Chain A
Amino acid sequence: MRRFFTSALMRGLLWQLIGWIVGAFFLTGIRVLMGLNAFVTGQYFFTEPAWVFGGLVGALSYVASTGAMTDWFKWAKGEEVPEHREDPPGWEKYLNVSLDHKVIGVQYTVTALFLLCVGGLFAMIFRTELAHSGLQFLTLQEYNTFMSLHGIVMIVGILLGVAGLMNYLVPMLIGAQDMAFPRLNAFSYWVAPPAAVLLLSTLVFGGFDTGWTGYPPLSERAPLGMQMFFLGVAVAGWASILGGINLIVTVVRMRAKGMTAFRMPIFVWAAIATSLISSTATQLIGLSFQMVMFQRLFGMGFFDSDKGGNPILFQHLFWFYSHPAVYVFVLPGLGIISELVPVFVRKPLFGYRFVAMSSLGIALVGFLVWAHHMFVSGMNPYLRIPFMFSTLLVAVPTGVKFFSWIATIWKGKIEMPTPMLFVVGGIVVFLLGGLSGPPNATVATDLHLQNTYWIVGHFHDTMFGGYIYPFFAAIYYWFPKVTGRKMNEKLGKIHFWLMTPSFLTLTLLMMRVGLLGMRRRVADYDPALGFDNYHLVMTIAGYLIAISVLIFLYNLFVSIKKGEVATGNLWNSRSPEWLVPSPMPVHNYDRPFEVIGEPYDYGLPGSVYVRFEEKKNQSHKKESIDGTYK
């Protein structure tokens, strides 16, 4: 227990608090010297600028206190540091700074699961409130805060989950021992916990009532919680940008011998496409939020029409990231689907090159569609036409993926263990999300659909089908690689069969009431609209989903210690990580491998994907690490 409380995770929390208060006092001191008011009598004691500055200092204190930056400080002073830091055995390494991409991958994934559960809890709170018209147990401000936090906590949770999958899988799949920049990798992870603390701290600073989109002028007048939201998103954004760069360098520089571009596992293509977006677009959401933050702190007028600003400019900057962001979520998810389907149908991935290129296609077209969120915003009405064309174009590469999956499954020898169930569930749910997209893209119909529950149903289908289902599939599939044990099949199947019908009911009813005119982001609705029964059913469906997730969590925890031992190639995969024992050895492969075949040539007698070097040659380690750390 003592080792738990002295871990980097807990130490950081303490230092974040200290840094926060010290920073706030520091800025208050400066304010006093400048003759400004020092404290606010009433709710929050410190002034808003002091809280914001303190929040930033607190976040940096967290990261610094964990030791994630220590090696850099030493380098700056000219001190030597060991190239590798060996992790202690057992659970402690997961709570402390580690440079091992597998440990970091697990850290990301567990943090993601935690945040997804917190975000889900928020959803359950306001979903319960919505079960009946009228206000039952939440105030309007509480409703708005929970609804807004649900959005952003889920988004950050998914971003961390994406980083978890990519961190754990990519170096393993390409035959590298680690990421290109292990220290940067650790730093990217360790900014996430303080960011999460900042986001959740909005609850004690009066909440914020703008939704996760934070449109000004509303966000300019929201309570202090708004600033913590801006700060939390900015800090979490660092993880995305740095992680993306790290991943691109890793894939470009560190692939195994013989792994040409079109012999990479398909998930790696998805990871590249995702990282291109996250490393180049995330800046824009940080920028747009920072500008509102400066409006509040310094009275600048970027989006304030009274001062010559333009509120629509914010929306352009915001969506320039926030639309591509959804591809950051779904591309890795779709990559997981493409990666797992061939294994469970025992056939090659149909049209590998087209599937790979479709990921890049989606990523590139995704940069040109942002204004479809703004069809009724009051921007130039004729600009809506080019954005309608570009948005509908996304359907083409997405369609290629669907057709390729179906062609892969067609006439396969299909096995349906839990991971494959979730893959199929993902395909079905994402299909509904994808098909409900084009009506939003065509401007004329979007005039009705925009900002209704139809949209809420649409994007929950894309997020679940495109990310949450594949995420579950990936956890069930690679869990044995992490722990050497398998998760319980029976509980996995209960999880699936409880969640899927409930989720489909939930989102289809969302679309139904949305078409009939139910606006999104409302705490209450008119009983005369006749939506009470629909909402009651949606709430019940929501609870069933929550129960299924609890079953999953139970399965996860119990299987770590008590799961069926599975150390070999239990899915009968061709991928290199399954050809070595589980759990994965510390430096992945003790012998390098050479790629001599196609990744998914199931059904081709005598073919293999990789061949491990015969002689036990330890010198290669040094070789591949050279150039890695400099």
Chain B
Amino acid sequence: MRHYVITGVLVVVLAIATYAGLMAIKLMPVEASTQSIPIDQLWNVEIAIICFLFALIMVPLIYSLIVFRRKKGDTSDGEHIEGNNTLEIIWTVIPLITVLVLAYMGTYTLGEVMAVDPNALEISVTARQWSWEFDYPEGFTSTELHLPVNRQVVLNMQSTDVIHSFFVPQFRMKQDILPGRITTYRVTPDLIGTYQVECAQLCGLKHSYMTAPVIVSSQADYDSWIQTQVAAAAVAAQTPIGRGQELVAKYGCAGCHSVDGSSTGIAPTWKGLYLSQVKMSGGTNVAPGAVVTANEAYLIESIVNPSAKIVDGFQDNVMPKTFGTVLSQSQISDIVAYIETLK
């Protein structure tokens, strides 16, 4: 009897101590969306259950190992207890009820998280290897996601190549993004601040760096940002170079091709590229070791068919091969016009 009392007390003590300790070290990042509140409440319930079960197994285990350790020279066996059906039924039925309750709570919380506001702001998200693009209903494109606080947003997301995933830890949610299909991410940011969206589904070489800023601001700040963007887009659209620069930002080209001559190790820089002599390591359209002048025709070919000529020191199959269909011919010549300015 003494053993049961001691372990019972220790189970309670350890469970409470573990729970208090875990709560004290703040397991989760800040809550920045209304959806994160019910999720964290469910999480805290789960942590409480985990702490109790942890203590329920660990205490009798450690207690037995210390107290019921075989004495030196004792060669006898333990007590012959084969089992106890009542106990077995208890520890089958009680966990069964617990998990059913937990599943019910999970369902309920999921319902709260998925709640739809019919007036939600809609923004289109395009994910590609390895950049994010946000298309606003006002008709401009941004590489930063700006959101007004306390208003539900629906992100209509699509990928142009492989599977990506939209993940903002402070929002507590993620959603995969598929090619050829739109998936949605519904969130109501409720804390002004700057966060980061990270791709959470392995998407190839630069997966680690596929991030973009998420800026949650007051409605007034948000509105003025929208106005600046609309104005800037109108100005840029007037010249080929301006349009090219916009396209380069939109498609994240500079993530691999630096425009200031620095090395990314992934793709050649664009600075000073135009009309320079480039040595090739091979490709479907050139002999290994050949030297090519980087004229307009070369730049266009390299955008449309990246495998045609591989620059010495870089790998094939890194750059997406879809730009020939994604971009129109005039868009490609806009980009080339922009590259030509990078002397």
Contacts and interface: CB of A to CB of B under 8 A. Distances in A.
A385 interface: yes
A439 interface: yes
B160 to A, nearest CB: 10
Contacts, number: 274
Interface string B86-107: 0110011001100110110111
Interface stretch (B194-202, B236-244, B245-253): B194-202
Nearest to A312: B178
Which of A350, A410, A604 has the most chain B CB atoms closer than 10 A to its own CB?
A410
Contact of B64 (A140, A351, A410): A410
B333 to A, nearest CB: 26
A94 B77 CA distance: 39
A406 B288 CA distance: 68
B91 A400 contact: yes
B39 A448 contact: yes
Contact of A406 (B60, B114, B172, B204): B60
A348 B282 CA distance: 70
A2 to B, nearest CB: 43
A293 B178 CA distance: 20
Contacts of A312: 178
B177 to A, nearest CB: 8
Contact of B162 (A217, A348, A411): A217
Interface stretch (A55-63, A412-420, A548-556): A412-420
Nearest to B157: A378
Which of A354, A448, A512 has the most chain B CB atoms closer than 10 A to its own CB?
A448
Nearest to A393: B99
B64 A409 contact: yes
A139 interface: yes
Contacts of B91: 399-400, 403
Contacts of A438: 46, 49-50, 99, 102
B196 to A, nearest CB: 8
B225 interface: no
Contacts of A526: 196, 211
Which of A41, A346, A409, A517 has the most chain B CB atoms closer than 10 A to its own CB?
A517
A451 to B, nearest CB: 4
Contacts of A139: 265
B50 A436 contact: yes
Contacts of A43: 282, 316
A346 B175 CA distance: 52
A131 to B, nearest CB: 15
A521 B211 CA distance: 14
Interface string A346-385: 1110111110000000000000000000001110010011
B19 to A, nearest CB: 13
B38 A444 contact: yes
B74 interface: yes
Interface stretch (B65-73, B118-126, B271-279, B293-301): B65-73
Contacts of B74: 413
B58 interface: yes
Given A447-B113, A451-B200, A442 B82 contact: no
A385 B106 CA distance: 9
A447 B178 contact: no
Given A306-B180, A396-B99, A445 B288 contact: no
B81 A350 contact: yes
Nearest to B201: A451
B83 interface: yes
Interface string A419-444: 00000100110011001101101111
A27 to B, nearest CB: 21
Contact of B204 (A218, A347, A389, A436): A218
Interface in B213-242: none
Interface string A135-177: 0000111001000000000000000000000000000000000
Contacts of B82: 348, 350-352, 598, 601
A388 B100 CA distance: 10
A97 interface: no
Contacts of B69: 414, 416
Interface in B177-195: 177-181, 183
A393 B54 CA distance: 18
A452 B162 CA distance: 19
A524 B264 CA distance: 14
B169 A416 contact: no
B156 interface: no
A437 B251 CA distance: 39
Contacts of B81: 347-348, 350, 407, 411
B42 interface: yes
B61 A41 contact: no
Given A306-B180, A436-B50, A444-B106, A450 B174 contact: yes
A305 B80 contact: no
A445 B43 contact: yes
B205 A445 contact: no
Contacts of A215: 162-163, 201-202
Interface string A208-252: 011101010110011100000000000000000000000000000
B324 to A, nearest CB: 14
B165 A376 contact: yes
A209 B205 contact: yes
A389 B209 CA distance: 36
B84 A351 contact: yes
A523 B106 CA distance: 33
Contact of A346 (B57, B64, B77, B288): B77
A218 B39 contact: no
Given A377-B176, A409-B65, A414-B68, 12 more contacts: A42-B288, A42-B316, A311-B178, A345-B68, A348-B83, A378-B177, A404-B83, A407-B84, A409-B61, A442-B109, A447-B172, A604-B80
Interface of B: 3, 27-29, 38-39, 42-43, 46, 49-50, 53-54, 57-58, 60-61, 64-65, 68-70, 74, 76-85, 87-88, 91-92, 95-96, 99-100, 102-103, 105-107, 109-110, 113-114, 161-163, 165, 167, 169-170, 172-181, 183, 196, 198-209, 211, 265-266, 282-283, 288, 315-317
Interface of A: 41-43, 139-141, 144, 209-211, 213, 215, 217-218, 221-223, 305-306, 311-312, 345-348, 350-354, 376-378, 381, 384-385, 388-389, 392-393, 395-396, 399-400, 402-404, 406-407, 409-416, 424, 427-428, 431-432, 435-436, 438-439, 441-445, 447-448, 450-452, 512, 515-517, 519, 521-526, 598, 601-604
15 contacts: A41-B282, A210-B202, A306-B179, A348-B82, A350-B82, A378-B177, A400-B91, A406-B61, A409-B68, A439-B50, A443-B110, A447-B173, A448-B28, A451-B200, A603-B77
